[in-house]
Amino acid sequence: MLIKRSEARAGKQRLAAAYAGLSAGGLDRRAFLKQAGLTGVGLSALGAIPLTTVRPAAAGPTNFAQPITRIKNICTHCSVGCTVTAEVQNGVWVGQEPSWDSPINRGTHCAKGAAIRELVHGDRRLKYPMKKVNGQWQRIDWDTALNEIADKLMAIRQASGPDAVFWLGSAKQSNEGAYLMRKFAAFWGTNNVDHQARICHSTTVAGVANTWGYGAMTNSYNDIRTSKTMIIMGGNPAEAHPVSLQHLLSGKEMNRANMIVIDPRFTRTAAHATEYVRIRPGTDIPVIWGMLWHIFQNGWEDKDFIRQRVYGMDDVRTEVAKWNPQEVERVTGVPEAQLRKVAETFAKEKPATLIWCMGATQHSVGTANVRAFCTLLLATGNVGGNGNGANIFRGHCNVQGATDVGLDVVTLPHYYGLDANAWRHWSRVWEVSYESMMARFDSPQMAETPGIPSTRYFDAVLLPKDQVQQRDNLKGMVVFGHGGNTVTRMPEVARGLEKLDLLVVADPVPTTFAVLANRQDNTYLLPICTQLECTGSRTASNRSLQWGEQIVKPIFESKNDYEAMYRFAGALDRAAERRNMAFRLQAECFKTYEIGPEGPTSESILKEMNRGALSTGYSGQSPERLKLHMANQEHFDLVTLRGKEGTPVAGEFYGLPWPCWGTPEMKHPGTHILYNTNLHVKEGGGTFRARFGVERNGVSLLAEGSYSKGSELTDGYPEFTTAVLQRLGWYDQLTEAEKAQIARQGGTASWATDLSAGIIRVAMEHGCVPYGNAKARANAWNLPDPVPVHREPIYTPRTDLIAQYPTLPDRRAFRLPHLGQSLQNRMPQVAPNFPIILSSGRLVEYEGGGEETRSNKWLAELQQDMFVEINPRDAAARNIRDGAWVLVQGPEMPRDKQVRVKALVTERVGPGVAWMPFHFAGWFMQEDQRSRYPQGSDPYVLGESVNTVTTYGYDPVTFMQETKVTLCQIRAA
Amino acid sequence: MARMKFLLDAERCIECNACVTACKNENEVPWGINRRRVVTINDGKPGERSISMACMHCTDAPCAAVCPVSCFYTTADAIVLHDKDLCIGCGYCFYACPFGAPQYPRVGNFGSRGKMDKCTYCAGGPQADNTEAEYIQYGANRIAEGKLPLCAEMCSTKALLAGDGEIIAQIYRERVQKRGYGSGAWGWRTAYRETVAI
């Protein structure tokens, strides 16, 4: 390999050269790359950017003669929320220290967190704005880029309306960034705005919220230390949330707790379990109903809990009665004795918690799966206390927050929905008129219609116009911080991307979007910095908000989300002016914010959100309070997360986990455990939410004889409104100022829309939870399956079960057609040619689509090849040896195409099942797309994407994609 | 003086590789050199266990015994270090080491071996503490700063312990007594000619 002497930093180079080949640092990045080449790892396009064009971000050894600043931020990878402590010298991040004070990670990290400093060294980061000209990347400046993009967007708006642009945001954005993105889309005039939660836990949010009120993790990672039994079903936290295992294993050791893993794959988590149950992929509901069959049969259910706090459990009994042990074994493959043992343990050795991740959610029956899980928890009385609950491990670092702030096609921020009341509420918060907001849309009706989800945007590009229920097809797409290889059916994705009139990718790295389709023009890349390079709050899976400080200034020419959107808005206004359009965005959308040198300040955005986010209790977490928690991390208890007496954070829960009711001045401590009736509401107690009315077919939906500690109402009660306050005679306890605010809003308000937060205050004074006190719903009548029923995956190998357990009929939703039975009925012809079940999942070294982590040299070195896990039996039948290349084909791929990956022959997967990680991209059906990346911004490691093989299949409630069960054929290459 | 050791609790290790990247991060170790790595046995089967491995800083280190140029030395904390200015890259230590710790960069087009590199217990090398020269040749010197190796400090499940042998053995002993199982302090008999009695 050719070695070229670097022109920069000659002195250091000589020193390094003197110790040629030594391992330690001091080699600058270019030297490192050369060395990497020498060690035989094939890397193409070694750093060819002249150093003069970029902001130097190099780090050398810490110079102990210079002052070192320590700055705390939060890891940008998974949802555990590990604190990252950076040592910064002279504006450069030179070292990373353990964050001992954080009660969440206590100094520790996983491979990603321990390598996070590399992200802001940025060898392979996108360095400046670029555009494609005749298929070649060209460098441009920010203003030119934004002006050109804005012109093209306004042209689309003029010709096809605001709904023709798809805004894809990110779970990597801060709460403030994600909220701003949602607001931006609203001001643009569309609900076509989404983010990764769609493909992460959208079904959890829908299923869990429809059960008891809020679609979030009920307890915390730390609280699992107190569990006596934990079932991990459809999750592999040892790889996906490694630091959470610290808490799980501590619980297992300290309490001698049962740790049961139910999964089709013997995961690294299962290796540490006390019991492992292998199931056929896609049979979660029969497994849960099979457990409940034993529980009901033996009377192990919690009868008092069900009577007081659960609605509709008898309807579940009827369904469960069908799942006798023989039928369960026939469908799922789990033997009777094992399931009985697991059921008995879960029901009797309490507190018991159920932990799940995307193994449960990413199914065409995702919402129903999650509902079944909740039902099991309710039947055994395992919700609302220490050590129990639905511990839903979210994926990305801020996917919980981005979901809460409404970066979603079905709702405005904080689950207010899209109806006129919701628009009026947020118009008030944004200080604009309701009418002016409606005028931004094609029609008020479109403002109230859910948009097109991120799993289907390409269908909305490709389908005939009359199949898409909006003025026109999607024509333009703006992506902030989202991978392009994370949604299924990639051959279709590539066609959709190719057909778009405009594609804008704003991200720290180019992402798969930049290379997947063979686009010639009208494609722009905008460099956005990571959250490590800006300030803002992010919400961990346990609902705690943590404030991150800027570690270093954005590197190269990258900008943070706030500034990028602010300038984007300005460019749109100028483009509108040039076209004589009345549309304006910047002045209205950003008028409530303080504008600093790096765009709107995160503090001012959070404060606006605090004012409006009453429904989820994101109202008490002011920036000041969050910063105080970060400064006093060491004062929180490891297990209870409570601030210790005599400290500035005494009595408060770490990160003020939402709901943190009322205004910041009310000093609510946050809610560590949801629906916990053992605490006063002012101390973080709660009840199940009264969200679905007060009665159904003559049966009360309110709790019976159950209430949170200290409540003056000792039975169920509806959510609080001005009318309820009047009926209770508490209305006059509102202050004059609060009454005046309610009067300005039209004289009536509910706890969630009263911007004075007076209704919340008065309710809490009486020990009542503002959202009411109801029963959780075992029967959710508004869902396609009110009580979950088993439905075979669309691509099922068990064609004998289709007649008995069919998927839903074809239907329409989210402005698009949704195929079901018509596709499943073809399986008798398809399945014989594709005999192996294919599932996908995560590796510890990479995250999400993997573009960022595969561009991190410390991580990329650990996983250099895309692979498929295949059982020795299936491998032997196909003459496949471990480590050999194989070709994998899916039923929806072009007939002559396959993906080429390495075989990992292992008993980790059962016979007839294969598994692939989902982090790879850059090879597409055997085509190496490295040359399509902008020079010097290609990730170190490329590989085939599993989603090139995955197929059709969507959850009816959220359009979650089916990634966990499809079919494939594998043969030796 | 403390006797520094590593102790790996295989019941806790989940192969998250934090130790590997923490080492890369702290010492800027280049691609292709792994001072620490995680090995998994019975991969994908019941009984699967992972072990994080690096130089164990042995008592009477076999690498030192076979080195033809005597480049190894043991610090007062019993950390085994070597002098790269003396090392000739012969590879004898690699064959002597029971843990596969020594690493060699390839330095030429014909695959010739460079000077040996291995875990320094984050204790740098023979140069003055925390100087640029020391960092370039050996990486960080956390011991001189009063800190422990970053791999162990950042271990996600606290499976990898570093510190004075007596103290970490006591932590491990208490852990095993509490939970009732443990496969022993991995590699201790080989490295330190003793084991942790429960």
In order, the DSSP letters of A525-543 are: EEEB--GGGS-EEEE-TTS
**Which pLDDT does position A53 carry in this prediction?**
37
Work out the minimum CA distance from B188 to partner chain A, whole angstroms.
Answer: 23
- Taking the Cβ of residue B190 and every Cβ of chain A, the question of whether any pair is shorter than 8 Å is answered with no
What is the interface size between A and B, counted as CB pairs within 8 Å? 204
**Residue B147 forms part of a structural domain:** yes
With beta carbons under 8 A apart, name residues in chain A contacting B103: 23
Distance from CA of B71 to the nearest CA of A (A): 15
Nearest residue in chain A measured CA to CA from B182 = A253
Helix (H) or strand (E) holding A209: helix A202-212
| Residue A117 touches partner B, C-beta closer than 8 Å | yes
How far apart are the CA of B31 and the nearest CA of chain A, in angstroms? 5
Domain A216-392 has CATH 3.40.50.2300: no
Hey, is the C-beta of B38 within 8 angstroms of any chain A C-beta? no
Is B112 within the bounds of a domain? yes
pLDDT score at B184: 86
Is the separation of the CB atoms in A98 and B150 below 8 Å?
Answer: yes
B38 to chain A nearest CA, in Å? 10
d(CA A424, CA A706): 35
> What amino acid is encoded at A461 in this protein?
V
Question: Around A12, how many Cα atoms within 13 Å sit in the side-chain half-sphere?
Answer: 19
Show which of residues 892-911 on chain A sit within 8 Å of chain B, judged by CB atoms. 906-909
Question: Rounded distance, CA A507 to CA A527, Å?
Answer: 5
- Please, which residues 60-119 of chain B have a Cβ atom closer than 8 Å to chain A? 84, 103, 105-107, 109, 114-115, 117
Check B154 against A19: CB less than 8 A apart: no
Of A24, A40, A98, the CB nearest to B135: A24
Which one of A95, A117, A246 has the shortest CB-CB distance to B158?
A246
Q: What is the dihedral of CA A116, A120, A122, A128, to 10 degrees?
A: 140
Query: Which residues 6+ apart lie within 8 Å of A637 measured at CB?
Result: A103, A643, A644
Q: Where along chain A do the CATH 3.40.50.740 domains lie?
A: 130-189+402-604
Sign of the C-alpha dihedral computed for residues A193, A756, A420 and A217 taken in this order: positive
Does the global pTM surpass 0.95?
no
Kindly state the tokens that stand for A930.
């490295």
Query: Could you say which residues from 1 to 20 on chain B have a Cβ atom under 8 Å away from some Cβ of chain A?
Result: 11-12, 14-20
Query: Looking at the domain assignment, is residue B198 inside a domain?
Result: no
- Which residues in chain B touch residue A271, judged by CB atoms under 8 angstroms apart? 14, 46-49
Ranges of CATH 3.40.228.10 domains, chain A? 216-392
What integer pLDDT is reported at residue A3 of this predicted model? Answer: 35
Check: CB of residue A196 under 8 Å from CB of residue A204: no
Closest chain A residue to B117, measured at CA: A23
The answer to whether the Cβ–Cβ distance between A908 and B43 falls below 8 Å is: yes
At A17, which helix (H) or strand (E)?
helix A10-18
Tokens found for residue A841: 């999942």
Answer whether A25 sits within 8 Å of B136, measured CB to CB.
yes
Q: What is the pLDDT of residue A57?
A: 42
Whether the per-residue pLDDT at B71 is higher than 70: the answer is yes
Question: Which of the listed CATH numbers 3.10.20.30, 3.40.190.10, 2.40.50.140, 2.40.40.20 matches domain A799-972?
Answer: 2.40.40.20
Q: Using the beta-carbon criterion (under 8 Å), do A61 and B132 form an inter-chain contact?
A: yes
Q: Nearest by CB to A117, which of B20, B25, B179? A: B25
The alpha-carbon gap from A35 to the nearest alpha carbon of chain B, in Å, equals 8
What fold, for A130-189+402-604? Rossmann fold (3.40.50)
Q: What is the ipTM of this complex?
A: 0.96
CB of A858 within 8 Å of any CB in chain B?
yes
Residue B179 lies in a domain: yes
Q: What is the pLDDT of residue A60?
A: 54
Is the CB of residue A96 less than 8 Å away from at least one CB of chain B? Answer: yes
CB A496 within 8 A of CB A816: no
**CATH label of the domain that carries residue B95:** 3.30.70.20
Asked if B21 lies within 8 A of A857 by C-beta distance, the reply is no
pLDDT score recorded for residue A24: 36
Determine the residue among B151, B154, B178 to mutate to test chain A binding: the one whose Cβ has the most chain A Cβ atoms within 10 Å: B154
pLDDT of residue B107: 77
d(Cα A904, Cα B43) in Å, to the nearest integer? Answer: 11
**Chain B contact for A87 (CB, 8 A cutoff):** no
Specify the pLDDT at position A121.
Answer: 85
Q: What is the pLDDT of residues B83-133, one digit of tens each?
A: 999 999 999 999 999 999 999 988 777 777 889 999 999 999 999 999 999
How many domains are contained in chain B?
1
The minimum CA-CA distance between B2 and chain A, rounded to whole Å, is: 22
A265 token code pair:
């794959």
Q: What is the DSSP string of A496-524?
A: HHHH-SEEEEEESS-TTHHHHS---SSEE
Compute the distance between CA of residue A638 and CA of residue A101 in angstroms, rounded to an integer.
10
As a whole number of angstroms, the distance between CA A745 and CA A735 comes to: 16
Pair of tokens at residue A316: 């579940």
Range of the domain at B118: 4-192
Does residue B197 form part of some domain? no
CA-to-CA dists, residue A443 to A163, A432, A923, angstroms:
11, 18, 42
CA torsion angle A786 A792 A795 A798 (round to 10): 180
DSSP strand pairing (A885-889 vs A913-917): unpaired
> Does B170 map to a domain?
yes
Residues of chain A with pLDDT under 70: 1-62
Which of B13, B21, B116, B130 is best to mutate for the A interface (most A CBs within 10 A)? B21
> Residue A16: its pLDDT value, please?
34
Rounded Cα gap, residues A538 and A547, in angstroms = 7
What's the per-residue H, E or C state across A848-859? CCCCCCCCCHHH
Instruction: Note whether B31 contacts A: Cβ–Cβ < 8 A.
Output: yes
Residue among B17, B43, B180 minimizing CB distance to A256: B180
